[in-house]
């Protein structure tokens, strides 16, 4: 048997053993990278309307498709533009579990302190967070989309500075905010229909009526896979964007609009405790508590909106 004194001697070396394990682990820094959810594209010399026009022209020139735009909080000082590209849609459709959610990228424009700032969702961050283990097999196509977006938006800004906190690539691929909170693959069921076609018709009809404090901003529909994604403004003044966005940070407006997906005959959304957290990863628990009712409120709004 090993003596007690030997264990006492080993104690002195535990920190060094742990460090050696980290250094030679395949998950150590060489294989790890931290990503931020947003990139600041730059400061635009014109107003929000002029910046939005410049962004759309730049995206179209880069062969991207503008899906829709809207004013978060119904504010003239804010604008979000959602966009995609056919090769991106084709790539994410390979991921059967709601991969189409990763097809909609967004640019945010906000006027504060006399400056008009343009930001964008970091494509790689979104792809890794939503596609998870399916990101790596499709890395080449997705990386090209990300680089092409930067090249296109280079016409309206040149900074591309990361902001909004950071998450390691390994954590992103199975992200959750903290113990007990939901993952990407813990969606909320909003409704069930007889068929995909019935669900699509019902949802389009309901959204056109602006029911339940919800207004359609864009949709992506793929009939062949029976999948559709809808981006929606949350317009309820007491429970929607006007309530929660000023609390958790309007500079992250490119996180919006909120989306849900119809896949087959089921409509689901990402749980708010996942969807909000992954777009505001630096959010403190104190601030998160201030919007503790928001995930359930969003669930309620979307359920009522598609009935």
Give the distance, in angstroms, between the CA of residue 146 and the centroid of all CA atoms in the same chain. Answer: 14
| Residue 290 and residue 210 share a domain | yes
**Amino acid 211: pLDDT:** 82
| Residue 260 and residue 164 share a domain | no
Q: Is 24 inside a domain boundary?
A: no
At 10, list the tokens: 């080993």
- Where a domain ends, among 146, 172, 198? 172
| Residue 125 and residue 58 share a domain | yes
Q: Which domain does 231 fall in, by range? A: 188-305
| Residue 75 and residue 135 share a domain | yes
**Full pLDDT tens readout for the chain, 307 residues:** 444 343 344 444 444 334 343 333 444 444 579 999 999 999 999 999 999 999 999 999 999 999 999 999 999 999 999 999 999 999 999 999 999 999 999 999 999 988 999 999 999 999 999 999 999 999 999 999 999 999 999 999 999 999 999 999 999 999 999 988 999 999 999 999 999 999 999 999 999 998 879 999 999 999 999 999 999 999 999 999 999 999 999 999 999 999 999 999 999 999 999 999 999 999 999 999 999 999 999 999 999 999 8
Give the integer Cα–Cα distance in Å for 166 and 278: 10
Q: Is 143 inside a domain boundary?
A: yes
| Residue 97 and residue 206 share a domain | no
| Residue 107 and residue 63 share a domain | yes
**Amino acid 2: pLDDT:** 40
The CATH number for 242's domain is 3.30.310.70
- Where a domain ends, among 139, 172, 205? 172
| Residue 298 and residue 206 share a domain | yes
| Residue 56 and residue 168 share a domain | yes
| Residue 227 and residue 296 share a domain | yes
Give the distance, in angstroms, between the CA of residue 80 and the centroid of all CA atoms in the same chain. Answer: 13
**Amino acid 283: pLDDT:** 93
Q: Is 2 inside a domain boundary?
A: no
- Where a domain ends, among 108, 137, 172? 172
180 vs 39, 60, 96, 183, 294, CA distance in Å?
29, 42, 25, 9, 17
Q: Is 273 inside a domain boundary?
A: yes
| Residue 155 and residue 198 share a domain | no
**Amino acid 31: pLDDT:** 57
Q: Is 25 inside a domain boundary?
A: no
Give the integer Cα–Cα distance in Å for 85 and 152: 12
Q: Is 13 inside a domain boundary?
A: no
Q: Is 274 inside a domain boundary?
A: yes
Q: Is 10 inside a domain boundary?
A: no
| Residue 164 and residue 58 share a domain | yes
* DSSP string for residues in 165-202: --EEHHHHTT--SSTTS--TT-PEEEEE-SSHHHHHHH
**Amino acid 5: pLDDT:** 43
What is the dihedral sign for C-alpha 17, 23, 28, 31? negative
| Residue 237 and residue 115 share a domain | no
Number of folded domains in the chain? 2
Angle in degrees, CA 128, 226, 143, rounded to 5: 25
SS3 271: coil
């Amino acid at each position: 048997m090993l003596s007690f004194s030997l264990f006492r001697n080993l104690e002195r070396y535990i920190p060094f053993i742990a460090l050696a394990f980290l250094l030679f682990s395949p998950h150590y820094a060489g294989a790890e990278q931290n990503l931020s959810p947003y990139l600041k594209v730059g400061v635009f010399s014109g107003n929000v309307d002029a910046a939005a026009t410049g962004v759309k022209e730049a995206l179209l020139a880069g062969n991207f498709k503008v899906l829709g735009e809207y004013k978060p909080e119904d504010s003239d000082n804010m604008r979000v533009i959602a966009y995609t590209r056919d090769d991106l849609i084709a790539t994410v459709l390979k991921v059967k579990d709601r991969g189409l959610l990763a097809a909609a990228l967004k640019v945010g424009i906000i006027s504060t302190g006399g400056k008009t700032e343009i930001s964008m969702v970091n494509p790689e961050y979104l792809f890794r967070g939503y596609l998870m283990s399916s990101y790596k097999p499709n890395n080449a196509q997705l990386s090209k989309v990300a680089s092409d977006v930067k090249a296109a938006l280079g016409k309206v800004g040149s900074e591309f500075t990361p902001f909004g906190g950071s998450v390691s690539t390994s954590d992103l691929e199975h992200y959750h905010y903290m113990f007990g909170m939901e993952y990407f693959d813990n969606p909320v069921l909003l409704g069930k229909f007889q068929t995909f076609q019935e669900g699509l018709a019902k949802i389009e009809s309901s959204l056109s009526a602006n029911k339940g404090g919800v207004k359609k901003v864009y949709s992506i529909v793929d009939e062949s896979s029976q999948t559709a994604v809808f981006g929606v403004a949350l317009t309820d003044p007491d429970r929607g964007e006007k309530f929660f966005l000023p609390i958790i940070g309007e500079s992250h407006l490119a996180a919006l609009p909120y989306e849900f997906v119809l896949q087959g005959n089921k409509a689901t959304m990402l749980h708010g405790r996942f969807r909000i957290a992954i777009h505001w990863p630096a959010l403190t628990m104190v601030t998160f508590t201030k919007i503790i009712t928001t995930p359930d409120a969003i669930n309620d709004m979307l359920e009522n909106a598609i009935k």
